[in-house]
Amino acid sequence: MNPFLIVAAVIGALVGGYFLIASPAGLGSGLIRDTSDIEVAGTCEDPLARQFDFWMGQWNLTWEGGEGNNAVRSIMGGCVIEGNFSYPEAEFIGKSFSTYVPRLNTWKQTWVDNNGVYLDFTGGMEGDQMVFRRQFTNPEGQVVMQRIRFYDIERNQMEWGWERSLDEGLTWELLWQIHYERR
Residues 152, 54: Cα–Cα separation, whole Å: 12
Burial class, 52, CB count within 10 angstroms (exposed 0-12 / middle 13-18 / buried 19+): buried
Instruction: Reply yes or no on domain 47-182 having CATH 3.90.230.10.
Output: no
Give span(s): CATH 2.40.128.20, the chain.
Answer: 47-182
pLDDT in tens, 26-37: 444 444 445 554
pTM of this structure? 0.77
pLDDT of residue 71: 98
pLDDT in tens, 151-173: 999 999 999 999 999 999 999 99
